[in-house]
A and B are shown apart, each in its own frame.
Chain A
Amino acid sequence: MGLRRMLENWSDLRKRDYYENEPYMWGMAIDLDKCTGCGACVTACYVENNLPVVGKEKFASGYAMHWMRIEHYWTEPDDSPEIGQKEPSDHPERGAHFIPMMCQQCNHAPCEPVCPVAATYHTPDGLNAQVYNRCVGSRYCGNNCPFKVRYFNFFDFWKDLPEPLEQQLNPDLSVRSKGIMEKCTFCVQRIRAGKDHAEDEGHPHSVEDGTIVTACQQTCPTQAIVFGNLKDKSSRVHQLWADHQVKLNRHEQDKPEDVRGYRVFEELNVEPSVMYMDRVRDTEI
């Protein structure tokens, strides 16, 4: 940036939030109380985003390509056995937590500054972009991700598709080849299509809330996932964030404990765009 340009745009550059005037910032809210861990969102993601099904052996070797995964956490208060059991079980029936974990679209993303070719960067609408045709596959970003939600193509998975199955690939986004890092995009192809639709209707800078639906949100049988524009005060996701008093630009939320909202690894100050609502356990009532 030239000095002249810097001086001309001084007030813009000094702003705390460079993208303050952008009309969009995409965000998500996931209610873990509604989540049953059924995995429909994962399946939907596979279908929507051309994810390869790697098979048992490759999954075990860590080559799985699930942009979204259901994490299980087994907790049992004070190692007590289940009702009717004598010994505490490894997988107690009442103790499972499920967290759908995908790219948190961090606003201070640790993956972005380490990319040697700027293949991952932050878009003005608050997404953590991954540009496949720029990626050289250094895997630095994946190693720097605290959520471990970046997946590397070690193989040309699409070549393994038997004859008619290549027809089921989604034409709206790339089929990734070997040597490329990929991750959840918040269904950017649907976001682009939604904006395109808004432009047809004559309001290109305001997409109506609810017109853009991510694949996981669309499939969730309990409607635990809410996606939308955080800058739109009337959007459902903004209201949920406000109700649960989760705010941007902080690494610790000053809110009462009975409010359920939280962001994963908030203390790392990575500013995730995904807010989770904690599960209320029946044992706690």
Chain B
Amino acid sequence: MLFKKNRQRGPMAESVAEWDMKKGFLHMCQRAGTPWLFGLVALTLLLAGAVLPVTAWADDVSTAQQPIEFPHSRHAGKYKINCMYCHTFARRSKVAGIPPVSKCIGCHLHLPSVRNKPRIKKLFSYWEQKKPIPWLKVHDMPDFVYFTHKRHIQRFIFQDGRPTQQVCGMCHGDVKTFSVGRKVRAMTMGWCLSCHKQFQGVSDIGHPKPAKRWMIPVAPTDQAVMDVDFPQLAVMDPEHPKSIPNSVIEKLNRRLPDSVKAKIVHAPHDCWKCHF
């Protein structure tokens, strides 16, 4: 019977069958009274759209293959080499800096015990070819973000006299336990602002102040130093120059779930402090 039916339909049989299927789908929706199924599909798509950017910040490059699997655990953990011995620029520049091959060789030339290990062989092959090691950048800030290592290092290590690994661990996690460098914090704007909070009481325009929580010593752990396990939202401050009425902003903020609302930080007045 099925065969017969198909023969009756002729050469267009396949496409007509497809059309029938679509019709069936439509019928199903119509039978339900409302196009709720379409709504469901749209909702799923919307949710996917909302989730995608959230997952995008957690760009963990640990899965990517570094040219040499550099063991931080051995250098910083076992041998307790200061972070700034290799990342020399951190104390005086915006970037922390990746050491040149000569810095690696400077020590490893005098360490014959590990000379024949595959990673060290690879290191020496770069040295002999006179080529830089093409490391992959683990913490890559967006282009429009102005962040300087110098100010943080100068303040916390040289002014406050905290241990180096603790200070670096505030943002980079407990690197001395890492076998390969990876990103442990979602470096979002809300995350920055969770320290650089403004409007604690009187308006202090343009002068980010470290929050009080930095005044108590923090142990460097792989656990988040602060409760920032999801990207914090940086919402518009009611006083921020804007064209949306305050009531709308407040309404938008009110709609957020309590768990999110608790972690909201207000964006400071001066975007140009960090974005130019």
Contacts of B118 in A (CB 8 A): none
* Most chain B CB neighbours (cut-off 10 Å) among A8, A19, A123, A125: A123
Of B144, B150, B203, B205, which one neighbours A133 at CB under 8 angstroms? Answer: B144
Contacts of A188 in B (CB 8 A): 272, 276
Chain B residue at minimum C-beta to C-beta distance from A13: B203
Q: Do the beta carbons of A196 and B206 come within 8 Å of each other?
A: no
Taking the closest CB of chain A, its distance from the CB of B249, in whole angstroms, is 11
Q: Say whether chain A's binding surface is mostly helix, strand, loop, or mixed.
A: loop
Contact with A along B230-243 (1 / 0, CB 8 A): 00000010111111
Contact with A along B131-161 (1 / 0, CB 8 A): 0000000000011101010110010000000
Q: Do the beta carbons of A1 and B239 come within 8 Å of each other?
A: yes
Among A85-93, A113-121, A141-149, A215-223, the stretch in contact with B: A113-121
Q: Do the beta carbons of B271 and A1 come within 8 Å of each other?
A: no
Taking the closest CB of chain B, its distance from the CB of A48, in whole angstroms, is 13
Contacts of A122 in B (CB 8 A): 241
Contacts of B143 in A (CB 8 A): 174-175
Of A115, A121, A174, A199, which one neighbours B276 at CB under 8 angstroms? Answer: A174
Contacts of A8 in B (CB 8 A): 202
Q: Do the beta carbons of B239 and A123 come within 8 Å of each other?
A: no
Q: Does A132 contact B (CB under 8 A)?
A: yes
Q: Do the beta carbons of B243 and A131 come within 8 Å of each other?
A: no
Q: Does A156 contact B (CB under 8 A)?
A: no
* Most chain A CB neighbours (cut-off 10 Å) among B205, B239, B275: B275
Interface size on A, residues (CB 8 A): 35
Q: Do the beta carbons of B272 and A131 come within 8 Å of each other?
A: yes
Q: Do the beta carbons of B272 and A123 come within 8 Å of each other?
A: yes
Contact with A along B148-180 (1 / 0, CB 8 A): 101100100000000000000000000000000
Given contacts A1-B239, A115-B243, A134-B271, contact A200 B154 (CB under 8 A): yes
Cα-based distance from A8 to B203 in the complex (angstroms): 11
Contacts of B44 in A (CB 8 A): none
Cα-based distance from A199 to B144 in the complex (angstroms): 23
Cα-based distance from A152 to B151 in the complex (angstroms): 34
Q: Does B246 contact A (CB under 8 A)?
A: yes
Chain A residue at minimum C-beta to C-beta distance from B242: A118
Q: Say whether chain B's binding surface is mostly helix, strand, loop, or mixed.
A: loop
Q: Do the beta carbons of A22 and B151 come within 8 Å of each other?
A: no
Cα-based distance from A265 to B243 in the complex (angstroms): 26
Cα-based distance from A129 to B124 in the complex (angstroms): 49
Q: Does B269 contact A (CB under 8 A)?
A: yes
Q: Does A61 contact B (CB under 8 A)?
A: no
Contacts of A242 in B (CB 8 A): none
Chain A residue at minimum C-beta to C-beta distance from B241: A121
Q: Does A124 contact B (CB under 8 A)?
A: yes
Q: Does A173 contact B (CB under 8 A)?
A: yes
Of A9, A127, A192, which one neighbours B203 at CB under 8 angstroms? Answer: A9
Q: Does A273 contact B (CB under 8 A)?
A: no
Q: Do the beta carbons of A124 and B270 come within 8 Å of each other?
A: yes
Q: Does A112 contact B (CB under 8 A)?
A: yes
Cα-based distance from A125 to B205 in the complex (angstroms): 11
Given contacts A132-B275, A174-B143, A185-B276, contact A196 B148 (CB under 8 A): yes
Contacts of A113 in B (CB 8 A): 243
Of A125, A131, A185, A200, which one neighbours B271 at CB under 8 angstroms? Answer: A131
Q: Does A189 contact B (CB under 8 A)?
A: yes
Q: Do the beta carbons of B276 and A189 come within 8 Å of each other?
A: yes
Cα-based distance from A125 to B142 in the complex (angstroms): 25
Q: Do the beta carbons of A118 and B151 come within 8 Å of each other?
A: no
Q: Do the beta carbons of A129 and B205 come within 8 Å of each other?
A: no
**CB neighbors of B among A34-92 (8 A):** none
Contacts of A1 in B (CB 8 A): 238-239, 246
Cα-based distance from A175 to B144 in the complex (angstroms): 8
Chain B residue at minimum C-beta to C-beta distance from A114: B243
Given A22-B205, A189-B276, 16 further pairs, Cβ under 8 A: A1-B239, A1-B246, A2-B238, A5-B203, A112-B241, A113-B243, A123-B206, A124-B269, A129-B272, A133-B275, A173-B276, A174-B144, A174-B275, A175-B143, A188-B276, A196-B148
The 4 closest A-B pairs by CB, nearest first: A129-B272, A131-B271, A174-B144, A121-B241
- Supply 10 A–B pairs (Cβ within 8 Å), ascending by A: A9-B202, A19-B205, A112-B241, A117-B243, A122-B241, A123-B270, A127-B272, A133-B144, A134-B271, A188-B276
- B residues with a Cβ closer than 8 A to A are 142-144, 146, 148, 150-151, 154, 202-203, 205-206, 236, 238-243, 246, 269-272, 275-276
